[in-house]
Amino acid sequence: MLRKVFTDPAALRPRFTTDEVTRAAAGRFGALAAALEARGADPHRAAHFLVQLLFCLFAEDVGLLPKGLFTDLVAFAARRPDRFPDQIAGLFAAMRDGGVVAFKDVRRFNGGLFAAIDPLPLTAEELTALAAAANLDWGAVEPAIFGTLFERSLDPAKRAQLGAHYTGRDDIARVVEPVVMTPLRRRWAQVRAEADRLKTAWDAAPTP
């Protein structure tokens, strides 16, 4: 990496921005949620399962899971969809308790996300789409989208919007800065000026 800094710095430039990766991630999960809804999956069960998958994608790319473990599992399941529920349940159980999956050590994850393990079967097409999603850089996904993914996958009325209305950090800042921060800074300047005036008056007052 240090050599590339001097010889080929353009190679270190990310292929996609955070916003682009996050929109792509949300879009893929939106399609998966819509497919589960079309099959009549229970919204709470589907939402919990989707967040478990989402966490696996993120954990793999930030080094909390062994590199390639989840990606390889999904790629295998795309060829053998009938094996997916058992395979993913085994991974979830290892993440809940700690264990070994595909000869790789999996550390225990606390927090209760994997306390309930009830995976839904996925079709070959859905698993192929999930495998494509695994190729995204989930370490670059904006964490704020996770709550939105969960909320909209849980609410059938909002499930069709999943991935369609992601607002990037820069877009939010362009609204928050003039609408919220600028008036607050203006008010703070007034309060500070008044405080300075009162302090000056207090300092100049004769001592009793």
> Residue 104, SS3?
strand
pLDDT of residue 21: 66
pLDDT of residue 12: 57
Q: How many CB atoms lie within 10 A of CB 57?
A: 24
Q: What is the pLDDT of residues 68-96, one digit of tens each?
A: 999 999 999 999 999 999 999 999 999 99
pLDDT of residue 24: 72
Residues written for the chain:
208
| Segments of the chain with pLDDT less than 70 | 10-22, 142-173, 175, 208
Q: How many CB atoms lie within 10 A of CB 18?
A: 15
pLDDT of residue 161: 47
- For residues 19-50, b (16+ Cβ closer than 10 Å) or e, as one string? bebbbbbbebbbbbbebbbeeebebeebbbbb
Helices in the chain by DSSP H: which ranges?
Answer: 2-7, 18-38, 43-61, 69-79, 84-97, 124-134, 144-154, 156-159, 169-176, 182-204
The alpha carbon of residue 123 and the mean position of all alpha carbons in its chain are separated, in whole angstroms, by 23
> Residue 185, SS3?
helix
What are the residue boundaries of the structural domains of the chain, listed by start?
A: 13-166
pLDDT of residue 50: 87
Q: Is 149 exposed, middle or buried (0-12, 13-18, 19+ CB in 10 A)?
A: buried
pTM of the predicted protein model:
0.65
pLDDT of residue 87: 96
pLDDT of residue 160: 46
